[in-house]
C-alpha cells in the first residue's frame, strides 16, 4: 500500500455513529498525531462552527482542534471569496454558515442580495424560502453548501440540506452551485489547507456517494470504510471503485 502523507477524514459513519464512538478510527487518528501526519476532518454538516465539531471529537478522545476541522460552510465562504463575490449575501442556514460567511467578510443582508447561499436550516420557514426565491428571480446567484437529501439519525432518515435546497431550485428553475462532497470544490480546498501534495493525500469516508466520489472527482486516492452508510454489496454495482476498502481503520498499517 502507498505511503500517504496527508488524510482527509469524514466524520459521521467514519469517526462516530451519532453519539457512539468508532474506536478503531479514534486510535487511527491518535496514531496520525503521534507520527506528525497531517489530517483534516471534512464534513458536509454546515450547521456548526469548527470549534463545536472539535469539542465533540475531543470529548470522544480524538486529538483535534478547530484547525483540524473543515466544514462545507467554510468551503462555501472560501469559494465565494475566490469568485470575488460581492459582499451582500442572503443566507439561509444555521450558526455554522452565518459565522463562516461573516468571518470571510461578507455582509448578510435581507434585501438587495447578490448571492443566495443556502445550507441546512432546521428552523426553515416559508418566509425564508420566499425571500430566497425572490432574490434568485431578481438575479442573485444561487450557491448551496451540500446536496445531501437525507440525514441518517437514530430516528431514521430526516430531510437533509439538499431536500430544503430543492424547494428553491424547483421554485426558481435555477440549480445552485454545490460546494460539499461529492463536489471536488471542498476537497480541493481541504487539500490546500492540509498542505500535502494531491498524490500523497487520501480521502477516507464511509459513504461512496459523497466521500469517495468527492475523492474521485478531485483526482485523489480514496479509502472506503465499511463502518457507516455504504456496504460491500453496494460496491458490486459500482464502476469507479475506491482505491482502498477496509472493514475498519484498525486494518490501516501506518
Concatenated DSSP letters of 145-183: S----EEEETTEEEE-HHHHHHHHHHHHS-PPEE-STTS
Name which of residues 148 to 207 contact Mg ion (CB under 5 A). 206-207
Please say if 10 is a catalytic residue.
yes
Give the integer Cα–Cα distance in Å for 71 and 145.
9
Shortest distance in whole angstroms from residue 11 CB to Mg ion: 6
Q: How far is the CB of 222 from Mg ion (least distance, A)?
A: 13
> Does 10 engage in binding with Mg ion (CB under 5 A)?
yes
What string marks each residue from 13 to 32 as x (binds Mg ion by CB under 5 A) or -?
Answer: x-------------------
Asked if 242 and 223 touch (Cβ cutoff 8 Å), the reply is yes
Q: C-alpha angle 181/154/210, rounded to 5°?
A: 10
Listed ranges 4-12, 70-78, 147-155, 166-174: which one lies at the site for Mg ion (CB under 5 A): 4-12
Name which of 94 and 206 has its Cβ closer to Mg ion: 206
Q: CA–CA separation, 182 vs 214, rounded Å?
A: 4
Q: At CA 21, angle to CA 180 and CA 184, rounded to 5? A: 15
Q: CB-side exposure of 124: number of CA atoms within 13 Å?
A: 21
| Residue closer to Mg ion, measured from CB, 132 or 184 | 184
Written as nine digits, the cell of 214 is 468527492
Would you say 100 or 224 has its CB closer to Mg ion? 224
Which residue, 13 or 184, is less far from Mg ion as judged by CB? 13
Residue nearest to Mg ion (CB): 13
- Determine whether 12 is an active site residue: yes
Active-site amino acid positions:
10, 12
**List of residues contacting Mg ion (CB under 5 A):** 10, 12-13, 206-207
Amino acid at each position: 500500500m502507498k505511503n500517504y502523507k496527508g488524510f482527509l477524514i469524514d466524520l459521521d459513519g467514519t469517526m462516530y455513529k451519532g453519539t457512539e464512538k468508532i474506536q478503531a478510527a479514534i486510535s487511527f487518528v491518535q496514531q496520525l498525531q503521534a507520527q506528525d501526519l497531517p489530517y483534516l476532518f471534512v464534513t458536509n454538516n454546515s450547521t456548526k462552527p469548527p470549534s463545536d465539531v472539535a469539542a465533540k471529537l475531543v470529548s470522544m478522545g480524538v486529538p483535534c482542534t478547530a484547525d483540524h476541522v473543515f466544514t462545507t460552510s467554510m468551503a462555501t465562504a472560501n469559494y465565494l471569496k475566490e469568485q470575488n463575490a460581492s459582499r451582500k449575501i442572503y443566507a439561509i442556514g444555521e450558526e455554522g454558515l452565518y459565522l463562516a460567511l461573516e468571518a470571510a467578510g461578507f455582509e448578510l443582508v435581507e434585501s438587495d442580495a447578490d448571492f443566495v447561499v443556502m445550507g441546512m436550516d432546521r428552523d426553515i420557514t416559508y418566509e425564508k424560502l420566499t425571500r430566497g426565491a425572490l432574490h434568485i428571480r431578481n438575479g442573485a446567484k444561487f450557491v448551496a453548501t451540500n446536496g445531501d437529501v437525507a440525514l441518517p439519525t437514530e430516528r431514521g432518515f430526516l430531510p437533509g440540506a439538499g431536500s430544503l435546497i430543492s424547494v428553491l431550485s424547483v421554485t426558481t428553475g435555477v440549480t445552485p452551485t454545490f460546494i460539499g462532497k461529492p463536489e471536488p470544490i471542498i476537497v480541493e480546498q481541504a487539500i490546500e489547507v492540509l498542505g500535502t501534495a494531491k498524490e500523497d493525500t487520501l480521502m477516507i469516508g464511509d459513504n461512496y456517494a459523497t466521500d469517495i466520489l468527492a475523492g474521485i472527482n478531485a483526482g485523489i486516492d480514496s479509502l472506503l470504510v465499511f463502518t457507516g452508510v455504504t456496504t460491500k454489496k453496494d460496491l458490486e454495482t459500482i464502476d469507479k471503485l475506491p482505491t482502498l476498502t477496509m472493514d475498519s481503520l484498525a486494518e490501516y498499517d501506518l
